[in-house]
Amino acid sequence: MNRIIAPPLPPAWSRRLDDILLHKVWGPLVFMMVVGSVFQTVFGLGQPLSNALQDLLTAVGQRAAPFVANGFLRSLLLDGIWKGVSSVLVFLPQILVLFLFIGLLEDSGYLARAALIADRTMSVVGLNGKAFIPLLSAYACAVPAIMASRTIENKRDRLATILIAPFMTCSARLPIYTLLIAAFIPERPVVGVFLGSRALAMLLLYVLGFAAAIGTAKVVKSSVLKSTPSPFVLELPEYRWPTLRSVGLRLFDRGRVFVQQAGTVILLVSLLVWGLTNLPLHQGQPPALEDSVVAHLGHLIEPAIRPLGFNWKIGVGLLTSVVAREVIVGTLGTLYGRDPQTRSVSLQAALQHDLRFSGAMALLVFFAFAMQCISTLAVVRRETNSWMWPAIQFAYMTGLAFLAALFVNGILSAMN
Amino acid sequence: MNQLSQTVSSSATGSRQQIRAVALIGPPNSGKTTLFNRLTNLRQKVGNYPGITVEQHTGVMVLPGQEITIVDLPGVYSLNPHSEDERVAVSVLNGNMDGVPRPEAILLVLDATNLTRHLALAAPVIALGLPTLALLNMGDLLARRNGSIDAVKLAGDLGIPVAIVSATTGTGMDAVGRFLQQADSPAHTTLPIVQDVRECRKWAAQVASESDYRPSAPSSMESPAR
Amino acid sequence: MRILLSELEPGEAAVIDEVALPEAEQQLLIRFGFFDGAEVRCSRRAPLGDPTVYSVDGSEVALRAETACRIFASTVERRACEQTR
């Protein structure tokens, strides 16, 4: 008796769609288009919306400021609380845009296909195909990227993705990269008109972050997180039209979760840093930045960071940029602006005066590796539901940053 | 099918207590979340179960004269404690989860177009002995494909009420309200050894075929569902 | 004919004999439909060759070769022989 084995198949149109979307040639092409548009949208839509929201919130704060007479109280409400709240809300556009995209991809069924296509390359470093979109979006900002890693059901793969996401060169690093590169790297053509030395430097920094991410993934997946491997099993659901209702509800959910849970931590730390910058009081007025508690802390850590080529002002910048990486630019601007020696020159010139080339390169490398964003830590804490993982991540990344900066400074200053 | 060794008998039929908390359970991709959203109408909150990364979704469903807490459990295919999601589901269903009320009834959500696989979850859930309503979700999809199932026969075989619904269109959802207002424990029925997932799968296949389950008829598969 | 699931070519079908993996991983696969006695068809391979998509029980599930090579299955002829026993 010859029995024909015929397990029930999914609907024909769904299979036909897969014939195209998982085709040897068309599949990857569509994939790259989809992935490209995710990237483009988050950068081209999410980022500008975020900036616009920031400007709006800042403007609102400044309008309201004159209504509070007392200098200290005004600073507390405006620079402390309002700024802290804004720094949380400012992430919402990027989170919502990314999750809108992911919601559409997931509900339609395409996300599983994309994960399937990416899996071969990702598994080489021990990662899951589903990690591709979260890691890609980390190039814009790690905060929504880490939240997006929840599409990865495998716990260990998800954790590995969360741990390496902050290494991706996020857009908050760009202001300090641009500043230091412009100040310390003379513009020279490297590949004719196509590539200059400054663009090359920027590219190398991107590569550095990427390499650190891949390296960490390999290390982490072959040791700590390897103990009980689960096999990769991915269900390809049938294609269907996403509904506005379900995508909308999920957006609302994610936004609310972020603001309520990560937002509280971010706000608290912002207030803390504000406190350190605005104390001790002189006759009821906040002190000048160089007389504040944080400046004292900067002087305190100076011996530790001098081997990296940094001075106390950089130290203060490192401390304040815990809130957000780009804050260091503003902090340095204020400090150098008040120093009589550098007050009348541009920030670039001030840095050239105060830092050596080796120290500047070390600072770049430090920023590439260090875990400086409190919002990222807050989201990691929320997504891993523990304090241990964000603590480990902070220790590991900052340690790596310190050693790398030390190495770079040492090598480059020895060469001079 | 020779290992049917577990039976579930109904508890005292006289006691129908007022239901205050209900668990919503079902496999992944069964449309459970859409159903949850429809029942709770945005009266929901998200949190974390203590100490682990599984998210906790609870909501409130409003019925005439009462408010019922609904706990949306993570999507699971069985109740064997092999993954964290399953351990959480079992813990909540046994009333052992801190901060979550012990469920007094269960809404079992299954994909009507994928019933043979999904029914395997029905065995361990029914074995818990709590009043359970089986919701065969995506009924609109099944209809579009000219698929069918004898829901009455299925209810008889399972020992629990069965309703074909569509969470996306809202069809059939009033069955939930009716069930919650007068829930009975499962009737006497024979189940496979619920810890053995293989046996549950085979039992599911048999139950489905006894209820004349057909996921589709060939002529209808022309375009994606809306 | 007894084969490894990873040897199944797109379009071919087989019946699973054994899932030769540790208990925990076996349980995971069973949930998705890969258990002894189940019918499986190889649907397609991913564009880069791995993973492979299998049709099982009305849905499509993808497995990497490293997992599929631990699943033993039989194609039509062998099962036919067994049934006459």
A18-50 tens-digit pLDDT: 888 988 888 999 998 888 888 778 777 887 888
pLDDT at A190 over 50: yes
- Label residue A211 by pLDDT band (50, 70, 90): very high
Subunits next to B (3 or more Cβ pairs <8 Å) are A, C
- C chain contacts of residue A4, beta-carbon cutoff 8 Å: 76
pLDDT value of residue A402: 95
Task: Summarize pLDDT for A271-287 with one digit per residue, the tens.
Answer: 888 888 877 777 767 77
pLDDT at B224 over 90: no
Q: Determine whether the interchain pair B84/A155 forms a contact, defined as Cβ–Cβ distance below 8 Å.
A: yes
pLDDT at A66 over 50: yes
pLDDT at B51 over 80: no
Q: Determine whether the interchain pair A233/C29 forms a contact, defined as Cβ–Cβ distance below 8 Å.
A: yes
ipTM field = 0.85
Percent of chain C with pLDDT over 90: 21
pLDDT at B134 over 80: yes
The average pLDDT across A215-244 equals 79
Strand duo B21-25 + B66-72: pairing: parallel
* C-beta neighbour count of B42 within 10 angstroms: 10
- Which among A239, A245, A383 has the least Cβ separation from residue B224? A239
The alpha-helical segments, DSSP class H, found in A258-387 are: 263-278, 293-305, 312-320, 327-338, 347-354, 357-369, 374-384
- B chain contacts of residue A257, beta-carbon cutoff 8 Å: 46
Mean pLDDT for all residues in chain B: 82
Task: Summarize pLDDT for B165-193 with one digit per residue, the tens.
Answer: 998 888 899 999 889 888 778 887 788 88
pLDDT value of residue B154: 92
Percent of chain A with pLDDT over 90: 20
CB pairs under 8 A between A and C: 119
Task: Summarize pLDDT for C60-85 with one digit per residue, the tens.
Answer: 899 999 889 999 998 865 444 444 44
- Label residue A230 by pLDDT band (50, 70, 90): low
Burial B119-140 (b: 16+ CB within 10 A, else e): bbbbbbbbbbebbbbbbbbbbb
Percent of chain A with pLDDT over 70: 96
Q: Considering only CB atoms, which residues of chain A are within 8 Å of chain B?
A: 8, 11-14, 155, 235, 237-241, 243, 245-246, 249, 253, 256-257, 383-386
**Which of C48, C63, C75 to mutate to probe the A interface, most A CBs <10 Å?**
C48
Per domain, the residue ranges of chain A are 16-170, 247-415
Subunits next to A (3 or more Cβ pairs <8 Å) are B, C
Angstroms from B145 CA to nearest CA on chain A: 9
| Residue B48 three-state SS | strand
Residue with tokens 């909150």: B45
The average pLDDT across A59-65 equals 86
pLDDT value of residue A228: 55
- Asked if C11 is an interface residue toward chain A (Cβ–Cβ < 8 A), one would say no
- Which among C28, C33, C37 has the least Cβ separation from residue B117? C33
pLDDT at B11 over 50: no
- Label residue A229 by pLDDT band (50, 70, 90): low
CATH of B19-213, one of 3.40.605.10, 1.20.1260.10, 3.40.50.300, 2.40.110.10: 3.40.50.300
Task: Summarize pLDDT for A319-370 with one digit per residue, the tens.
Answer: 888 888 888 888 888 888 777 777 777 888 888 888 999 999 999 999 999 9
Q: Determine whether the interchain pair A13/B48 forms a contact, defined as Cβ–Cβ distance below 8 Å.
A: no
Task: Summarize pLDDT for A79-129 with one digit per residue, the tens.
Answer: 778 888 888 888 888 888 888 888 898 888 898 899 999 988 888 888 888
User: What tokens were used for A124?
Assistant: 């080489």
pLDDT value of residue A30: 92
pLDDT value of residue A213: 93
- Which among B113, B114, B197 has the least Cβ separation from residue C31? B197
- B chain contacts of residue C38, beta-carbon cutoff 8 Å: 201
- A chain contacts of residue B44, beta-carbon cutoff 8 Å: 253
Q: Determine whether the interchain pair A243/B216 forms a contact, defined as Cβ–Cβ distance below 8 Å.
A: no
User: What tokens were used for A276?
Assistant: 């350190």
- The closest alpha carbon to A183, from A19, A353, A303, belongs to A353
Q: What is the CATH number of domain C2-83?
A: 2.30.30.90
Binding-face residues of B in 126-165 toward A, CB within 8 A: 145
- Which among B78, B80, B116 has the least Cβ separation from residue C57? B116
Q: Are A136 and A115 in contact (CB under 8 A)?
A: no
pLDDT at A210 over 50: yes
Beta-bridged to residue B61, according to DSSP, are B68
Rounded CA-CA distance A117/A28 in Å is 7
The alpha-helical segments, DSSP class H, found in A258-326 are: 263-278, 293-305, 312-320
Percent of chain C with pLDDT over 70: 88
Rounded CA-CA distance A278/A285 in Å is 9
Asked if the bond preceding A280 is cis, omega within 30° of 0, the reply is yes
- The closest alpha carbon to A49, from A140, A137, A136, belongs to A140
Residue A395 is classified by DSSP as: H
- The closest alpha carbon to A377, from A142, A131, A129, belongs to A142
- Label residue B1 by pLDDT band (50, 70, 90): very low
pLDDT value of residue B8: 44
- H or E stretch including C74? strand C71-74
Task: Summarize pLDDT for B135-169 with one digit per residue, the tens.
Answer: 999 998 888 888 889 999 999 999 999 999 998 88
pTM: 0.79
Q: Determine whether the interchain pair C59/B117 forms a contact, defined as Cβ–Cβ distance below 8 Å.
A: yes
Q: Find the radius of gyration of the CA atoms of chain C.
A: 12
Per domain, the residue ranges of chain C are 2-83
pLDDT value of residue A137: 85
Q: Determine whether the interchain pair C58/A9 forms a contact, defined as Cβ–Cβ distance below 8 Å.
A: yes
Q: Determine whether the interchain pair B37/A12 forms a contact, defined as Cβ–Cβ distance below 8 Å.
A: no
Q: Considering only CB atoms, which residues of chain A are within 8 Å of chain C?
A: 1-10, 15, 18-19, 22-25, 27-28, 112, 116-117, 119-121, 123, 228-238
Task: Summarize pLDDT for A138-175 with one digit per residue, the tens.
Answer: 888 898 899 888 888 778 888 999 999 999 998 888 88
Per domain, the residue ranges of chain B are 19-213
pLDDT at B219 over 80: no
Angstroms from A1 CA to nearest CA on chain C: 6
Q: Mention every residue, 6+ apart, whose C-beta is less than 8 A from residue A45.
A: A93, A97
pLDDT value of residue B218: 65
pLDDT at C49 over 60: yes
Q: Determine whether the interchain pair B116/C58 forms a contact, defined as Cβ–Cβ distance below 8 Å.
A: yes
- Label residue B29 by pLDDT band (50, 70, 90): confident
- A chain contacts of residue B77, beta-carbon cutoff 8 Å: none
Q: Determine whether the interchain pair B53/A8 forms a contact, defined as Cβ–Cβ distance below 8 Å.
A: no
pLDDT value of residue B160: 92
